[in-house]
C-alpha cells in the first residue's frame, strides 16, 4: 500500500463528514417513498382511513372520534404521541428523538354543511361534511407516518406529526402553537388538496401564498315602525345599506391597487315582515390582506365606517370582531429557503413539469400561525383527472376527493421531512489525530 498524504486527504474527509448529504440521497428518498406509498396495501389503508373520517365529520374542537381513530392508527404503527393538545389535537414523534426537528401538519375538522354527494361513504352526521379535504389531509399524514416509521432507523433527526383541530375559523393552529408544540422545531410543512391542478402535480410559490383574514359583525340600531309611514321610524336598513356601499370604498379608494385587499359583507339580517321597518339590522363579513399592517388598517376603518355612517342616518352601531371565537389569521408566507428545498424534492419525485408556480390566493389558512412562528411552507397538491369528471371547489356541498391523490401527498410529505433532516443534521465532530490513527 502506497503512502497516503494526510494533508491532501484531510480536507476531502472533512467535506464528506460535514456534507454527507447528496442530491442522489434526496432522489433515493423520493423514489423510495413514492414507490412505497403506491403499494396496494398502503393505498387501500389510506383510502379506508379517509372514508371512515369522511363518514363521521366533526367540526372544530369536536373532533373526538377523528382523534380517536388517528390515535388508534398511531398505536398500530407503534408511533408515540401526546394527547390532548388544543382539546382534540395530537402531536406524534418519529425518528431519533434528537435534533433537527421537522414538523408535518394536517387539519382534522369538517364544515357545518349538508353533503350533496350521494355515495356509499356519505356523511352520517346531518349538517356536517368534509367539504375541504381535511379527511384526505389526515389520511396522507398518517400515510407519511407509516412510510417514515418504516425508515425510522435511517432518519437523521426527528419528525413531528401535527394533527390539528379547528382550522375552519377556530384558530386551532394558534392554540397548538401556544401549547409549545413547535419549541425547538426548525421548520414545518403543510399541504392542501386542490381542484385546480392535475393529479400528480403541485402548485406553490415563495413568499405570500394566502391572505390574512378577520371577521366582523355589526348591529345597527334605529327605531322600528310601519313601512307605510317611514317618517315615524329611523330606518336601520337604509343605514346598513349606506354602510355596505361605503365599506367597498375601503378597497377601491383607499388601498394601493398593487396591494390586494378584500372587504366582503356576506350577512344582512333584519326582521322577516315585508311591511315593518325593524328596530335593528345585523350585518357581518370578512376582510383580507397579505400584510398584518393592511389587515389592522382594514379593521380600524371598518369600525370607523360602520359607526360613522350609521350616525349619519341617525342610528347607533356596535361592532364586534369576535377574535375569541375567530382569531385574526396572519397571511401565510412561504419561507424562501424552504421553497428551494421543496422544489428540489418535488421535482425529483414528480418531475419539474409538474411543479407549478401559482398566484397568491385571498383565501386564508391558519397554518399561517405556524409559519409566522418558525420557517413554514404550504403547498397545494392537484387531484384533477379530467376523465373522471369535474371536481367542485372546496366548501361546496358537492366537493369530492380524488383518492388517487393520497399516495402523492403521503410520499411528498415523508420525503420533504426525511431530506430536510438529512440536510440539516449536525455533522459529527472530526479530530485530526483520530484520522491519523486510522490512516
**CATH number of residue 83's parent domain:** 3.40.630.10
Of the three residues 320, 351, 380, the one that is the final residue of a domain is 320
Confidence check: pLDDT of 431 > 50: no
Q: Burial-class residue 254 by CB neighbours within 10 Å (0-12, 13-18, 19+).
A: exposed
Confidence check: pLDDT of 138 > 70: yes
Q: Burial-class residue 78 by CB neighbours within 10 Å (0-12, 13-18, 19+).
A: exposed
Same domain, yes or no, for 102 and 77? Answer: yes
Interatomic CA distance for residues 186 and 423, integer angstroms: 12
Question: Do strands 276-277 and 225-226 pair parallel, antiparallel, or not at all (unpaired)?
Answer: antiparallel
CA distances from 182 to 3, 91, 101, 198, 266 (A): 51, 10, 9, 33, 35
Q: Quick one: average pLDDT of 115-140?
A: 98
Confidence check: pLDDT of 1 > 60: no
Angle at 332 between CA 327 and CA 335, to 5 degrees: 140
Same domain, yes or no, for 138 and 228? Answer: no
CA 360, distance to chain mean position in Å, is: 14
Residue 136 · residue 409 · CB < 8 Å: yes
- Torsion from C-alpha of 32, 38, 40, 43, nearest 10 degrees: 120
Same domain, yes or no, for 199 and 228? Answer: no
427 band by pLDDT with thresholds 50, 70 and 90: low
Domain containing 246: what range? 212-320
Q: Does 339 appear as a known binding residue?
A: no
Bigger pLDDT: 13 or 394?
Answer: 394
In a domain, 232, yes or no: yes
**Residue reference for cell 419561507:** 335
Of the three residues 299, 320, 341, the one that is the final residue of a domain is 320
In a domain, 377, yes or no: yes
**So what's the pLDDT on residue 428?**
56
Same domain, yes or no, for 219 and 122? Answer: no
C-alpha cell at 312: 349619519
Interatomic CA distance for residues 126 and 111, integer angstroms: 11
Confidence check: pLDDT of 398 > 90: yes
Same domain, yes or no, for 193 and 64? Answer: yes
pLDDT tens digits, residue range 17-46?
444 444 446 678 899 999 999 999 999 999
Of the three residues 320, 355, 371, the one that is the final residue of a domain is 320
Same domain, yes or no, for 372 and 266? Answer: no
Same domain, yes or no, for 311 and 375? Answer: no
Least confident of 232-236, 312-316, 377-381, 422-426: 422-426
Confidence check: pLDDT of 277 > 60: yes
pLDDT tens digits, residue range 108-124?
999 999 999 999 999 99
Q: Does 192 appear as a known binding residue?
A: yes
Same domain, yes or no, for 268 and 175? Answer: no
DSSP-assigned states of every residue in 150-199: HTGGG-SSEEEEEEE---SSS-HHHHHHHTTTTTT--EEEEEEEEEEEET
Confidence check: pLDDT of 201 > 70: yes
In a domain, 431, yes or no: no
**So what's the pLDDT on residue 388?**
85
Q: Does 232 appear as a known binding residue?
A: no
Same domain, yes or no, for 231 and 94? Answer: no
Same domain, yes or no, for 186 and 284? Answer: no
Backbone dihedral region of 207: left (phi > 0), alpha (psi from -120 to 50 degrees) or beta? left
In a domain, 437, yes or no: no
Predicted structure pTM score: 0.89
Interatomic CA distance for residues 132 and 137, integer angstroms: 10
Same domain, yes or no, for 57 and 201? Answer: yes
In a domain, 13, yes or no: no
Angle at 137 between CA 44 and CA 50, to 5 degrees: 35
* Domain containing residue 235: CATH number: 3.30.70.360
Q: Does 315 appear as a known binding residue?
A: no
In a domain, 349, yes or no: yes
**Residue reference for cell 402531536:** 91
In a domain, 186, yes or no: yes
Amino acid at each position: 500500500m502506497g503512502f497516503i498524504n494526510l494533508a491532501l486527504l484531510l480536507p476531502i474527509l472533512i467535506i464528506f463528514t460535514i456534507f454527507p448529504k447528496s442530491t442522489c440521497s434526496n432522489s433515493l428518498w423520493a423514489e423510495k417513498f413514492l414507490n412505497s406509498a403506491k403499494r396496494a396495501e398502503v393505498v387501500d389503508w389510506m383510502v379506508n382511513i379517509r372514508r371512515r373520517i369522511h363518514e363521521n365529520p366533526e367540526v372544530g374542537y369536536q373532533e373526538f372520534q377523528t382523534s380517536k381513530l388517528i390515535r388508534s392508527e398511531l398505536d398500530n404503527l407503534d408511533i408515540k404521541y401526546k394527547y390532548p393538545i388544543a382539546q382534540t389535537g395530537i402531536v406524534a414523534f418519529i425518528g431519533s428523538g434528537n435534533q433537527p426537528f421537522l414538523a408535518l401538519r394536517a387539519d382534522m375538522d369538517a364544515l357545518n354543511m349538508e353533503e350533496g354527494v350521494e355515495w356509499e361513504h356519505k356523511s352520517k352526521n346531518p349538517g356536517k361534511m368534509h367539504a375541504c379535504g381535511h379527511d384526505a389531509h389526515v389520511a396522507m399524514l398518517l400515510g407519511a407516518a407509516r412510510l417514515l416509521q418504516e425508515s425510522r432507523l435511517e432518519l437523521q433527526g426527528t419528525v413531528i406529526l401535527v394533527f390539528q383541530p379547528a382550522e375552519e375559523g377556530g384558530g386551532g393552529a394558534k392554540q397548538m402553537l401556544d401549547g409549545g408544540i413547535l419549541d425547538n422545531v426548525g421548520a414545518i410543512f403543510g399541504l392542501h388538496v386542490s381542484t385546480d391542478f392535475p393529479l400528480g402535480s403541485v402548485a406553490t410559490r415563495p413568499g405570500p401564498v394566502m391572505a390574512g383574514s378577520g371577521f366582523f359583525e355589526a348591529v345597527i340600531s334605529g327605531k322600528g315602525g310601519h313601512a307605510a309611514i317611514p317618517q315615524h321610524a329611523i330606518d336601520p336598513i337604509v343605514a346598513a345599506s349606506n354602510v355596505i356601499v361605503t365599506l367597498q370604498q375601503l378597497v377601491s379608494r383607499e388601498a394601493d391597487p398593487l396591494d390586494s385587499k378584500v372587504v366582503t359583507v356576506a350577512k344582512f339580517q333584519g326582521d322577516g315582515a315585508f311591511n315593518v321597518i325593524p328596530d335593528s339590522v345585523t350585518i357581518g363579513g370578512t376582510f383580507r390582506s397579505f400584510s398584518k399592517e393592511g389587515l389592522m388598517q382594514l379593521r380600524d376603518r371598518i369600525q370607523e365606517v360602520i359607526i360613522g355612517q350609521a350616525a349619519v342616518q341617525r342610528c347607533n352601531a356596535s361592532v364586534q370582531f369576535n377574535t375569541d371565537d375567530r382569531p385574526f389569521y396572519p397571511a401565510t408566507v412561504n419561507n424562501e429557503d424552504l421553497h428551494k428545498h421543496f422544489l428540489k424534492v418535488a421535482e425529483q419525485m414528480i418531475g419539474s413539469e409538474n411543479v407549478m408556480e401559482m398566484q397568491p390566493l385571498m383565501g386564508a389558512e391558519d397554518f399561517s400561525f405556524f409559519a409566522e412562528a418558525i420557517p413554514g411552507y404550504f403547498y397545494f397538491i392537484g387531484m384533477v383527472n379530467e376523465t373522471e369528471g369535474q371536481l367542485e371547489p372546496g366548501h361546496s356541498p358537492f366537493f369530492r376527493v380524488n383518492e388517487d391523490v393520497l399516495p402523492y401527498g403521503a410520499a411528498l410529505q415523508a420525503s420533504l421531512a426525511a431530506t430536510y433532516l438529512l440536510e440539516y443534521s449536525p455533522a459529527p465532530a472530526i479530530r485530526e489525530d483520530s484520522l491519523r490513527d486510522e490512516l
